[in-house]
Amino acid sequence: MHSFIDNNFDAILVLDISGVITRVNPAFVKMLGYSKQEVEGKSAFNCAFLPEEELRQLVTLHEMVMRGESLSSIECVRATKSGVQLNIMLSVTPFYNDRNQIDSWIIVVADRTAQKQDQERLIANQEELDIFIQNNSDGIAFFDESGSLIKMNKSVETIFGYSFKELQNISYYNIPIVSEEMKIKLTEQFMRDSVIRNFEVEGVTKEGRKLPMLVSITPLTKTITTYGVVIKDISQLRSAQSSLNRSEALSMIGQLAAGVAHEIRNPLTSLKGFTKLIELKANIESKHYFEIMNDEFNRIELILNEMLGVAKPHNDRVIKTEVSAIIEYAIALLQTQAVMKSIEIVTEFIDNPVIECDDNQIKQVFINVVKNAIEAMDQGGQITVRAVQPNEDGIQVEVIDQGEGMTPAQLAKLTEPFYSTKEKGTGLGLMMCLNIMEHHKGFLKFESELGKGTRVILGLPVRQ
């Protein structure tokens, strides 16, 4: 027994029935730094290697061993001679004499300090990883091998509107945030490559709104029992790219329009002048043709003005003006046209905000929008112009008509250059309006449903 104790790699000490240390092995001396003379013959309850806060546990262990219990895997702390505290794992075994009475107890001491530190580091790393996952702006979710959602961060809920409770019992194959077609494509890609990186798909929010997003799927173990999914909402990126493309298109079209308009305006002026001179000498039968010619000249001038408006959207001046004054000016200008089509224009003002803008350009925008509303209503009806000030930073004006409305496809192309839903439209008017609004740091939005009319929303900041 003595040979087994002395040659064991683990630290061992032997206590008699009263708790006095009768023997320690070399491994114990090496671990704690106390010599055999400093330890043997002393009570374990009074040894320097026992921290005071551990005394109560040792008394409890002593009582349990005296009842004949064998104890193992007991975590505690012991101090080396140099004062370093070690995380210890104890295994306590009672030793019986030939009369079957507890004669002593043998304690095997294993240093678990390194493992404890590794475990603490692992826990800390796990906590850091959890914080990173939870605070990540991208949606992050984990699925088990059966396809069930086992964890997700707040960004998934923010992007799609579903809580974890709503999705946790739903299989990947039934999860509502991706269409069936996209699930099939993702599955085929994953089966082929075992990993997916930045696969562009179309997601669906709880409200039914569609989102462009990039999906990456990675197995988290070699046996592929758990999957990590990263979802990046790229709707803002797509919107920014669309705005950039539109700005570049506007710049190119503006330069082209300015050149064409200037080249056409001079000969047009000459043509109008000579036509007037000829008209004075023409007979009565020819008057009708001159009316048509003058109408067409006026139409060409209107197109030229729109082209120049696209070419020169910058604010020439900025003044303070009441929103109601701009709206009333536009309505007064178009009132006759509205009455002729049995259309009533109703205004609703909540407060009367004052904004800083180039009033001539903003008047042009409202004239264009209200004019479009009138032209969309062949059966008469009501146009509502509503102005509100949602906050101190900006105002919002809505122009709501009861016209034919538009399809989603028409709505998507509405501000594209040279696209028009009107038979004689140039497709430049709304493009010019959008350009003016953006240069005023505002926005122009359209909502429409076929057969139910159109709602145009104009937003402008209070200050430039």
CATH, range 238-311: 1.10.287
CB atoms within 10 A of CB 59: 12
pLDDT band for 458, please (50, 70, 90 cuts). very high
DSSP states along 270-301: HHHHHHHHHHHHS-GGGHHHHHHHHHHHHHHH
CB 347 within 8 A of CB 398: no
pLDDT at 82 over 70: yes
CB atoms within 10 A of CB 428: 21
pLDDT at 342 over 60: yes
Domain 319-461 CATH assignment equals 3.30.565.10? yes
Average per-residue pLDDT for the chain: 82
Handedness of CA 326, 328, 329, 330 (dihedral sign): positive
Radius of gyration over every alpha carbon of the chain, rounded to an integer in angstroms: 42
**Amino acid (one-letter) located at 296:** E
pLDDT at 392 over 90: no
CATH architecture of the domain with residue range 2-113:
2-Layer Sandwich (3.30)
φ, ψ for residue 147, nearest 5 deg: 90, 10
Q: Closest Cα to residue 45, out of 67, 16, 70?
A: 16
Apex CA 89: angle with CA 87 and CA 93, to 5°?
A: 150
Q: Closest Cα to residue 327, out of 379, 370, 375?
A: 370
The string of pLDDT tens digits covering residues 134-174 is: 888 899 988 888 888 888 899 999 899 999 888 887 777 78
> CATH 3.30.450.20 region(s) of the chain?
2-113, 136-233
Which residue intervals of 232-358 are DSSP H helices?
A: 235-281, 287-311, 323-340
φ, ψ for residue 417, nearest 5 deg: -65, 135
CB atoms within 10 A of CB 32: 26
Residue 338 burial (C-beta neighbours within 10 Å; 0-12, 13-18, 19+): buried
The string of pLDDT tens digits covering residues 251-301 is: 666 666 666 766 777 787 788 888 888 887 777 777 778 888 887 887 777
**Amino acid (one-letter) located at 106:** I
pLDDT band for 201, please (50, 70, 90 cuts). confident
CATH architecture of the domain with residue range 136-233:
2-Layer Sandwich (3.30)
pLDDT at 426 over 60: no
DSSP 8-state class, residue 171: B
Task: Indicate the pTM of the whole model.
Answer: 0.47
Residues whose CB falls within 8 Å of the CB of residue 432, separated by 6 or more in sequence, listed in order: 306, 309, 310, 313, 364, 368
CB 385 within 8 A of CB 331: yes
Q: pLDDT value at position 455?
A: 92
> CATH 1.10.287 region(s) of the chain?
238-311
Q: pLDDT value at position 424?
A: 58
Distance, CA of 132 to CA of 377 (rounded, Å): 55
Q: pLDDT value at position 40?
A: 92
φ, ψ for residue 89, nearest 5 deg: -115, 120
Distance, CA of 286 to CA of 277 (rounded, Å): 13
The string of pLDDT tens digits covering residues 236-250 is: 887 777 766 666 666
Distance, CA of 456 to CA of 273 (rounded, Å): 40
Distance, CA of 96 to CA of 105 (rounded, Å): 8
Distance, CA of 390 to CA of 353 (rounded, Å): 10
CB 6 within 8 A of CB 12: no
Q: pLDDT value at position 280?
A: 79
